[in-house]
Amino acid sequence: EAGVAQSPRYKIIEKRQSVAFWCNPISGHATLYWYQQILGQGPKLLIQFQNNGVVDDSQLPKDRFSAERLKGVDSTLKIQPAKLEDSAVYLCASRERTSGGSYEQYFGPGTRLTVT
Amino acid sequence: AQSVTQLDSHVSVSEGTPVLLRCNYSSSYSPSLFWYVQHPNKGLQLLLKYTSAATLVKGINGFEAEFKKSETSFHLTKPSAHMSDAAEYFCVVSDKEGGSYIPTFGRGTSLIVHP
């Protein structure tokens, strides 16, 4: 079974530029998550999708961040314009079932973003 | 609202000695609890999970955790540390808020293993 795929793995941009990250979850996984992990901290949930609908985006800075999951499969996360504090690893994860809290998340390798 | 507190940012042990990584949680309902491990430059991997069955949960690589509702704790233990256990460990609580299960990560505990 293929894992969660993310691209690119690394990205360096200047502040005020825009950037997009892509995630392809495990086939058949209905729930998809985007996290931001700043160095030395735990992952912070940015947005959670269930199929192609948003379940939670309370911690997504909506003035600059946007995410979509068209057709309920792969997803993109965009930052426009980027700030220095957006430097972090962006993790994508997927989960098999939409209901029930006991199903584990499977994580991708992450995209390391550096904003200069 | 749910939350999770990992009481130690760093834990240092010698190889062959026991490991204890502490996690306390706050939840309004019956939560699911997880421990994930993150090795340097690697993805997050599930160690074990509690889902309201047995309170003592066994995971991979000899790790186990005990759910104690009265203490709202879910501490991770291992009888004998190995050098390969050096990594970042995250405790996660997932509770049903507003009809959906939203996960919350702790800040992480860095496990250092000395030879």
Please name the residue of chain B whose CA is at the shortest distance from the CA of residue A109: B43
What is the rounded end-to-end Cα distance, in angstroms, of chain B? 41
Q: Say what the pLDDT of residue B97 is.
A: 65
pLDDT in tens, A50-75: 988 999 999 999 999 999 998 889 99
The mean of the pLDDT values for chain A is 92
Distance CA A46, CA B6 (A): 21
C-alpha dist (Å) from residue A61 to A5, B101, B114: 24, 21, 41
Mean pLDDT of A26-53: 93
What residues does B103 pair with on adjacent strands?
B94
* Residues of B at the A interface, defined by Cβ within 8 angstroms: 6, 31-32, 34, 36, 42-46, 49, 51-52, 90, 94-96, 98, 100-108
The pLDDT tens digits along chain B (115 residues) read 789 999 999 999 999 999 999 999 998 777 889 999 999 878 899 999 998 778 899 999 999 999 999 999 999 999 999 999 999 999 999 877 666 778 899 999 999 999 9
Q: Say what the pLDDT of residue B96 is.
A: 73
Q: Say what the pLDDT of residue A79 is.
A: 98
Which has more confidence, A7 or B52? A7
Distance CA B37, CA B60 (A): 11
| Non-local CB neighbours of B12 within 8 Å, separated by 6+ positions | B112, B113, B114
C-alpha dist (Å) from residue B65 to A31, A57, B86: 26, 31, 18
Q: Say what the pLDDT of residue A76 is.
A: 97
Our CA angle for A76, A111, B87, nearest 5°, is 135
Q: Say what the pLDDT of residue B1 is.
A: 74
Q: How far is B102 from chain A (nearest CA, A)?
A: 8
Distance CA B83, CA B64 (A): 18
pLDDT tier at A5, thresholds 50, 70, 90? very high
Contact B44/A91, CB-based, under 8 Å? yes
Tokens 């203490």 sit on residue? B71
Q: Say what the pLDDT of residue A98 is.
A: 60
Contact B44/A43, CB-based, under 8 Å? yes
SS3 B30: coil
Sign of CA dihedral B49, B54, B57, B59: negative
Q: How far is B2 from chain A (nearest CA, A)?
A: 13
